[in-house]
Structure 1
Amino acid sequence: MSGPGAAPPGYYPDPDGAPGMVRWWDGGGWSDVLTPAGPGVSTGRGETAHRPAPSPWQPAVPVRGHGRTPWVVGAVVTAVVVLVVAVVVGTTGRGTSNPSPTVVAVPTGPTFAPGTVQIVDEDAGIAYPYLGDGWYQYALGAPLETTSVQGQYFITQDTVPDGGEFIAQITSGPVAEGYGWSGAGSEQATIETLAESVRANYYPGPNEREVLRDEATTVDGAPAWVYEFVLSWDTAGYDATGERAALVVIDTGRAAPALLYLSIPNTHAELYGVIDRVIGAVDVL
């Protein structure tokens, strides 16, 4: 379609014609990120950002100041070279009702092989959906919390005050030692430790956390624990004022459980629905 014109913000079939894909319309322009149609991203409706009021909080383990880096501290610019180019929305058929073109920053990065539908993490023992155009293969170093990493991401802000980048990501890996794992039944203790590490190491502070889910579950029949939360902050230099994220620890029967980490900054709140969608589609290998 050439553009929904006066249509309200929401997901609509991709104006470039990608089969089964939808793109977010904010009322004046198209998002640069595609996502598959399905639960949480039904066409014609959107997600509302939830931003709790910030309150003082100091991270227990300050790392590189208080900025969030893409998961691993200090590995940002050496592992992947990201070129940022200005792209005019509408040059590929995405029309808007605004005669002035909207300019967005679109990062380039390592892409998945044609035909990829799942990201298979052999080390962690899980697989989950690849979300398509606009998501790049995560090729940075392993974070503190896992011994290796697989996944997908895209950059939402090129430079933040600590010198790194801010990203949306869905990544996985085997949980590293020292985070509370002692075998079956220790999923909750492990995820509590991981949640504190993630909050201290990868987000600006002070920040406030609102827990949305903290409960036992099963993932593809395997025991698991899901911890979903919203962080909010008021820190100069960040485009986002918060983020919705989830950690899922899955007992795959291996020596170390799998950790699935999903995070969407509120600058891209229209993608919040992919969190539940991905969690619900995880396969245990």
Structure 2
Amino acid sequence: MGTRRDRRGPGARADRRRGDLPRQQEQRDDGPADPRAGPERQPERACPLAEPDTQRVAHADAAEPRRRAAPASGGRITDPRTGLSFAAPGDPWEVPKSAEINSPDPNAQQWLAGSRAISHEKYDGQSDWTGSIYSGELHAIYPYEGVQGLRGTVATVFIDFGSRFYPIKHERKILQDKAITVDGHKGWVLEYELDFTAESEKNGYQWKKERGAVVVVDRGEGKRPALLYASVPDNLDTGVVTQVLNSLKLS
């Protein structure tokens, strides 16, 4: 992702983006400016990012000079609110501060756990393009009608994130779009591949393709579902997305 890629949550417009899921074929996308862009420092949020090995601790103090390193392979990163967790990708991934990836806008998706790595520092002369794996409770701006509406909710999130997070021209291909089960809870996954090759070769970007996924998992009556968003450029190993999807758990 670009100036985009700390992937700050989208705003209230998202609840009006209910379109159908994209067709299972390549298509060209020209997205607008992306909130995943390099971090603009914002006031620390009340919602903490999860620490490795399921610890639930407050986010780092704003004065902390460095981000926390993500746990080595074999550890897990857990969302303290929803209980959704995934296997930590290891080096060079880091656990960012909450303020680096969350917008102060109350109508924005808030990420409560996650990991991030730089794909291309200052790819446009100013902003970093990064890989991101974030989770949180699905914001109320995204409609949810229960397990029968899982696919529609994933489509809404995907369309909104796609328009916000990928400002560079690319080709898009859907890899899977199907129902899943996470520890007995029904969910839906939409996995996709973005091809930036033409723009990459023209501009000297350090990545050419990127694989991503949007996952929504139902948590039972009266609870908002868990949301996971992953997007990994090829120079950070797109196999990380498969690793994360295969390791999902919900406690």
Q: Normalising by structure 2, report the TM-score.
A: 0.67
Shift of 1:112: 4.4
Cα distance in 2 between the residues matched to 1:190 and 1:115: 31
For residues 182 and 134 of structure 1, do their structure 2 counterparts lie closer, same or farther at Cα, with a shift above 3 Å needed? Answer: same
Is 1:134 aligned to 2:92, yes or no?
A: yes
Find the counterpart in structure 1 of residue 30 from structure 2. Answer: 58
Shift of 1:166: 1.0
Q: How many residues align?
A: 194
For residues 242 and 122 of structure 1, do their structure 2 counterparts lie closer, same or farther at Cα, with a shift above 3 Å needed? Answer: same
Cα distance in 1 between the residues matched to 2:133 and 2:223: 23
Moved more, 209-218 or 166-175: 166-175
Structure 1: which amino acid aligns with 2:102?
A
Gap runs ≥5 in structure 2: 1-25, 44-65
Map 1:259-278 → 2, pairs under 5 A: 259-268=227-236, 271-278=237-244
**Max Rg structure:** 1
Structure 1: which amino acid aligns with 2:109?
T
Is 1:155 aligned to 2:118, yes or no?
A: yes
* Aligned alpha-carbon RMSD (Å): 2.8
Cα distance in 1 between the residues matched to 2:28 and 2:204: 18
Higher RCO (CA < 8 A, seq sep 6+): 2
Q: Which of the two has greater helix per residue?
A: 2
Q: Which of the two has greater strand per residue?
A: 1
Shift of 1:259: 1.1
Q: Conserved in 2, the CA contact under 8 Å of 1:69 and 1:165?
A: no
Find the counterpart in structure 2 of residue 95 from structure 1. Answer: none
For residues 255 and 133 of structure 1, do their structure 2 counterparts lie closer, same or farther at Cα, with a shift above 3 Å needed? Answer: same
Once the two structures are aligned, what percentage of the paired residues are identical? 26
Is 1:191 aligned to 2:149, yes or no?
A: no
Aligned residue for 1:185, secondary structure, equals: helix
Aligned residue for 1:171, secondary structure, equals: strand
Structure 1: which amino acid aligns with 2:250?
V
Select 2:78's aligned residue among 103, 110, 120. Answer: 120
For residues 204 and 242 of structure 1, do their structure 2 counterparts lie closer, same or farther at Cα, with a shift above 3 Å needed? Answer: farther
Cα distance in 1 between the residues matched to 2:150 and 2:125: 32
Cα distance in 1 between the residues matched to 2:147 and 2:240: 28
Which whole-Å deviations, capped at 9, do the CAs of 1:116-167 have from their partners, x for residues lacking one? 8111101232111122232110322326762333111111111133832111
Gap runs ≥5 in structure 1: 1-53, 81-107
Q: Conserved in 2, the CA contact under 8 Å of 1:146 and 1:259?
A: no
Cα distance in 1 between the residues matched to 2:139 and 2:86: 20
